[in-house]
Amino acid sequence: MAEDAAFRREQRQVAAGMAAAALTAIVAIGLALWQGGGAAQPAAERLATALRLDLFVIVWLLAAIGNVARMRFFSAQDIAGSATTTASEAVRRGNAILQNTLEQVVLAIPVHLGLAAALPQPGLLLVTLVVLFGGGRLLFWLGYARGAAGRAFGFALTFYPTAFALVIGLVLVLTGRSV
């Protein structure tokens, strides 16, 4: 019974963190869309902007890879690599953060490029998405050791902006409103 109550409490905390991140994303994206605008930019310029901004997304993947490498280097248990030993708790945590970061990067970059192709002036929205991504990754990483509730806001602040941006891009394409 106590286990079930603890699980339900954790679920509520996760849901609260995710809801707060979703609201944050909606407000930030809404403001970016409202403030954005101006003359349409050439497609090559829009795509180049997205690629330049996504370097800041890729930094998080580099950091996660480097973190696991650093932990392995300084651990007698882990230095031989995951194929030859059972990873320490720290390396397992680092690998989980790395895996999630890889998944988020693989989802975010094509969505950013799709928006750059679909919107006439995507710069402010792309900056907003990249800032939310970076903030989300930082909070996810810092909160990971505190369990699901500790990482929920950071996860959702990374995931929801990308998901919302994908929906925006799909709506633009399907309604014929893309450039």
Q: Which two tokens stand for residue 60?
A: 């998080």
In a domain, 144, yes or no: yes
CATH of residue 141's domain is: 1.20.120
Q: What is the number of domains present in the chain?
A: 1
In a domain, 157, yes or no: yes
40 Rama class: left (phi>0) / alpha (psi -120 to 50) / beta: beta
Residue-number span of the structural domain to which 70 is assigned: 2-174
In a domain, 155, yes or no: yes
In a domain, 104, yes or no: yes
pLDDT digits (tens, 9 = 90+) for 117-168: 999 999 999 999 999 999 999 999 999 999 999 999 999 999 999 999 999 9
pLDDT digits (tens, 9 = 90+) for 73-118: 999 999 988 787 799 999 999 999 999 999 999 999 999 999 999 9
In a domain, 179, yes or no: no
Rg for the chain, CA atoms, rounded: 19
